[in-house]
Chains A and B, each alone.
Chain A
Amino acid sequence: MKTNALRLLAAAAFFAAAPVSAQETLTIGFTVSQTGKLNNDSIAQVRGFELWRDQVNAAGGIKAGGKIYKVEFVSYDDESQNTRVQQLYTRLIAQDNAQFLFSPYSSGLVATAAIISEQYGKVMLATGAEEKPYRLGSKHLFQVYAPAGQYLAGALQALKALDPNAKIAFVYKDDPFSKAVAVATRDLAVKEGFKLVLDESYSPDTTDFGPIINKVISSGATALIGGGHYPDGATLARQLYDQKAGLKWVTLLVAPDSPNFSTLDKAAVGISVPSQWEPQAAFKPDFGPTAEQFTKDFVAKFSIGPSYHAAAGYASGMILQRAMEQAGSVDPEKVTEIFNKMDVITLYGRTKFSNDPKEHGLQLGHEMVLAQWQMKDGKLVKEVIWPKSAKTADILY
């Protein structure tokens, strides 16, 4: 009897004294648009994820609640398609046992993935600006980007300072993100007293912008605002240049932020883009590297500069890590609680989520900047032109 009790005590002591560094893995699942129309920006985002994962694992892993977690990714190619996103996220949850999820890139795919993640009660960090998914009663969805409604506020303010009588043509892609931005911006433009001379959406499959550009010319517009994602934005910019549309101000969504936009050469000059983040951003982070450090590490690893998609990807990983560390656990409910209270500044800017049940998870803290392509010493560079407090160059008009 006594020997048994001693044995039991010994066993208990042995297990209690087990080393704190019990290694576990944390599985994060997501899909990437490796192929398809969204590949350009989605791959940038994934690189952000990967840089974070490599740095975290090199530093030993995530330390939460006495355990150390090595981060592992499971990912699939969603080919920029909704139907595949559904099937793949279900698989990530049901078969690959992903504990946390990152969203695909772009609002349309985010919405589809969010339905699955909410159906199964998993926490997902979302990189899409459209606000609709947060108004459907979600509880574990958290938006990393600034919402669509804010996108072009800066652009309009900049334009107002230059020419309050500008005639604006709205030409945007007919997809959840661009539409959300367009609707919000339209209301803002009317409030600011601008004249709207054209307001049209184009199908996502459009490759021939000729007819729309002719319409823009007919309308006598001096400014064009809109676009969508990379392929259509780039083509639109090129065709605007080829057809000599004669606009004094062009703001396009997403596309001009990619470093690849510089391949458009002269067609890129003067085109501005609302950006979630620029490498020149000078935030003082509460934790993690500065923007400058991040940019250096990114270039060292991938030989190309980071766009805001990459920064957002990296930031997603960082705040997830932070939430787990503070929650002391990887339980989705505990992590959700931390996210609900979070208000931090990282290289990416300020991050704070809404707790209002009508728009739970919406990003409140993050702000947009406006960047523009300009010629500097014969080379094409992207400068921040708005807000005035963050600018690195004057506006080209």
Chain B
Amino acid sequence: MFSRPFPWLIALIAALFALVPAWAGSVQLRESLLLAAVYITLASNLNLMIGYAGYVNFGNIVFFGLGGYFCMYLVNDWKWNLVAAALVAGGIVSALAFLFGLGILRLRGAFFALATIGVNEATRQFVANFEPWGGATGIYLSLNAYEPLGGPRQALWFVYFLLVAVMALSLVLSYAIKNSKFGLGLLAIGENEDAASILGVPTPRYKTIVYSTSAFLPAVAGGFYFFKSGIIEPTGAFDLGLSIEAIVMLMLGGQGTIIGPALGAFLYEELRGTLLTLPTFSHFQLVIAGLLLLLIVLFAPGGLMGLIRGYFPATRKFFE
């Protein structure tokens, strides 16, 4: 795998993320990069659905939220180990996605997109009424949960490294799929589903598999993220706004490429962080996000990577 240039790039990114904040000892930098890592994870996995298979999953955040809930529940109520809980949460959410996928992947285009919103909202409302998960109040993590990891400060660093690992895995996953027969089939579906089907691509199976796969890493990331937050509640876990921002990040960077979502997510996170504390502009991130998306959709559907690869064809080999 490391014979080609791109995997080295992934390794480099992961190394930078892991080492720079640690070496600088900066908590603020770590917080900022942690969010970036989460966004990159979300955008990359979303890319599998939107960029490869051409199915717009508006409600993608439901994986993140559900993964978070399962993990928090296992850690808080059943005293499980964090990594184990997150992995199991990822597995459960993937399985649920598989089941749901069988149903809603029969819908095309806009109908599918709307249905994913419906799934997200229905899940949110359900969880808000589900008492074992705290209902609308959510789950509050007891501070003792940080003890096995050496106390809160250590735990926060540990979770950060875990999230960097998940981010790296997301990029590797995108790469692996793209270079496989499965990935080829997905891209064919994205181009023209009916033609692909006639040419022998097992479309229903592939769609369901990619939907389920695109759920796993976001769910694991959700588990780690909400553990770090110490609290999970329905509105924050199933935030449709964040779901949409993941799409913006993906489109901004360049859907269909691997580095695209990473680039888009990183840039977007930086923008967001800067706007967060400016009083007049604190909600301008939405305006800017909207304008960016509009411009991209109208004039540069390939996003930043599309532009770069268009103007500098030599980079195509390096930036996949």
**B35 to A, closest residue via Cβ:** A87
Which of the residues B31, B128, B146, B277 comes within 8 Å of A203, measured between beta carbons? B128
Residues of chain B within 8 A of A86, CB atoms compared? 229
A170 vs chain B, min Cβ distance (A): 15
Contact of A176 among B137, B141, B230, B236 (CB under 8 A): B137
A136 contact set on B, CB distance < 8 A: 140-144
A138 contacts partner chain B, Cβ-Cβ < 8 Å = yes
Inter-chain contacts of B137 with A (CB < 8 A): 108, 132, 174-176, 179
Q: Which residues of B contact A359 (CB under 8 A)?
A: none
Asked if A66 is at the interface of the complex by the 8 Å CB criterion, the answer is no
Shortest CB-to-CB span from A172 to chain B, Å, is: 11
CA distance A179 to B128 in the complex (A): 13
Report A-chain residues with C-beta under 8 Å of the C-beta of B231: 82, 111-112, 115
Q: Say whether B140 contacts A119, CB under 8 Å.
A: no
Q: Nearest CB to that of B151 among chain A residues?
A: A119
**A175 and B31 contact, Cβ closer than 8 Å, known pairs A77-B282, A82-B236, A118-B152:** no
B4, CB-defined interface residue at 8 Å: no
The listed residue with most A CB atoms (<10 A of its CB), out of B31, B136, B141, B233, is B136
Instruction: Say whether B136 contacts A174, CB under 8 Å.
Output: yes
A95 interface residue per 8 A CB criterion: yes
Whether A83 is near chain B, meaning CB under 8 Å from some CB there, is yes
**With an 8 A cutoff between CB atoms, is B19 at the interface?**
no
Q: Is B27 an interface residue (CB 8 A)?
A: yes
A50 within 8 A of B: no
The distance in angstroms between the C-alpha atoms of A306 and B239, with both chains bound, is: 35
Q: Which residues of A contact B156 (CB under 8 A)?
A: 119
Measured CA separation A137–B151 after assembly (Å): 12
Most chain A CB within 10 A, of B143, B231, B279, B282, is at B231
Q: A119-B153, A120-B152 are in contact. Are A179 and B135 (CB under 8 A)?
A: yes
- In the bound assembly, the distance between CA atoms of A175 and B152 in angstroms comes to 27
Q: Does B235 contact A (CB under 8 A)?
A: yes
CB proximity to B under 8 Å, residues A323-351: none
Check B179 for interface membership: any CB of A closer than 8 A.
Answer: no
* A174:B135 contact, CB within 8 angstroms: yes
Residue interface mask A224-253, B partner, CB < 8 A = 1: 000000000000000000000000000000
A90: Cβ under 8 A from any B Cβ? yes
Interface positions of B from 27 to 42, Cβ below 8 Å from A: 27-28, 31
Report the Cα distance A304→B28, complex, angstroms: 39
Q: Contact: A132 with B140, CB < 8 Å?
A: yes
| Residue numbers in B under 8 Å from A176 (CB-CB) | 137
Size of the B side of the interface (Cβ < 8 Å), in residues, is 27
Q: In the bound complex, do residue A79 and residue B282 qualify as a contact, i.e. CB atoms below 8 Å apart?
A: yes
Using CB atoms, name the residue of chain B closest to A76: B277
**Chain B residues with CB under 8 A of A112:** 229-231
Other-chain contact of B277, A91, A175, A201 (Cβ < 8 Å): A91
Residue of B nearest to A176 (CB): B137
Known: A83-B236, A176-B137. A137 touches B152 (CB 8 A): no
The 0/1 profile, CB within 8 Å of B marked 1, for residues 121-164 of chain A is 00000000000110011100000000000000000000000000
Kindly list chain A residues whose C-beta atoms are within 8 Å of the C-beta of B144: 136-137
Question: In whole angstroms, how far apart are the Cα atoms of A95 and B26 in the complex?
Answer: 10
Q: How far is the CA of A94 from the CA of B152 in the complex (A)?
A: 15
The CA-CA distance from A84 to B229 in the complex, in Å, is: 12
- Number of A residues, CB within 8 Å of B: 33
B276 within 8 A of A: yes
* Interface flags, A87-109, vs B, CB<8A=1, else 0: 11011001100000000000010
How many angstroms between the C-alpha atoms of A83 and B273 in the bound complex?
13
Q: Given A79-B282, A118-B143, A136-B143, are A175 and B136 also a contact pair (CB < 8 Å)?
A: yes
Closest to A84 in B: B276
Inter-chain CA distance A132–B140, complex, in Å, is: 8
Question: Which residue from B28, B141, B236, B279 sits with its C-beta under 8 Å from A91?
Answer: B28
Separation in Å of the B158 CB from the closest CB of chain A? 13
**With A and B bound together, what is the CA distance between A111 and B138 in angstroms?**
11
For the complex, what is the distance from the CA of A88 to the CA of B282, rounded to whole Å? 12
**A89 to chain B: closest CB distance in Å?**
11
| Cα–Cα, bound, A112→B146 (Å) | 16
Query: Chain A residues near B128 (CB, 8 Å)?
Result: 174, 203
Which residue of A82, A115, A118, A137 contacts B233 across the interface (Cβ within 8 Å)? Answer: A82
Q: Which of A65-85 contact B (CB under 8 A)?
A: 76-77, 79, 82-84
Q: A111 vs B128: C-alpha distance in the bound complex, in angstroms?
A: 18
* Interface residue? A210 (CB, 8 A): no
Beta-carbon nearest neighbor of B232 in chain A: A82
Partner of B136, one of A87, A95, A138, A179: A179
A381 to B144, CA, bound (A): 48
A161–B276 CA distance with the chains assembled, in angstroms: 52
Contact A119 B152 (CB under 8 A): yes
* Contact residues in B for A108 (Cβ distance below 8 Å): 137, 233
Neighbouring A residues of B141 by C-beta, 8 Å = 115, 136
**Interchain CB contact (< 8 A) of B142 among A79, A82, A87, A137:** A137
Q: Which residues of A contact B140 (CB under 8 A)?
A: 111, 115, 132-133, 136
Task: Check A259 for interface membership: any CB of B closer than 8 A.
Answer: no
Instruction: Determine whether A60 belongs to the interface, using a CB cutoff of 8 Å to chain B.
Output: no
With A132-B140, A179-B135, A179-B136 as given contacts, are A83 and B28 in contact (CB-CB < 8 Å)? Answer: no
The answer, among A84, A115, A203, for a CB contact under 8 Å with B230, is A115
Residue from A76, A82, A95 in contact with B28 in the complex, judged by beta carbons closer than 8 Å: A95
Residues of chain A with a CB closer than 8 A to B276's CB: 84, 87-88
- Minimum Cβ distance to chain A for residue B172 (Å): 29
Asked if A203 meets B136 with Cβ closer than 8 Å, knowing A83-B239, A112-B231, the reply is yes
Contact B136 A94 (CB under 8 A): no
Asked whether A289 is an interface residue with its Cβ less than 8 Å from the other chain, the reply is: no
Against A, the Cβ 8 Å flags (1 = close, 0 = not) of B9-46 are: 00000000000000000011001000000000000000
A-B residue pairs, 7 tightest by C-beta:
A115-B230, A174-B136, A119-B152, A137-B143, A94-B27, A176-B137, A94-B28
Interchain Cβ contacts under 8 Å between A and B, 18 examples: A82-B235, A83-B239, A84-B276, A90-B27, A91-B28, A108-B137, A115-B143, A115-B231, A118-B152, A119-B153, A132-B137, A132-B140, A136-B140, A136-B141, A136-B142, A175-B137, A179-B135, A203-B128
Add 19 more A-B contacts to A83-B239, A84-B276, A108-B137 (CB < 8 A): A76-B277, A77-B279, A77-B282, A79-B282, A82-B231, A83-B236, A87-B276, A88-B276, A90-B27, A90-B28, A115-B229, A118-B152, A119-B156, A132-B140, A133-B140, A136-B143, A176-B137, A179-B137, A204-B136
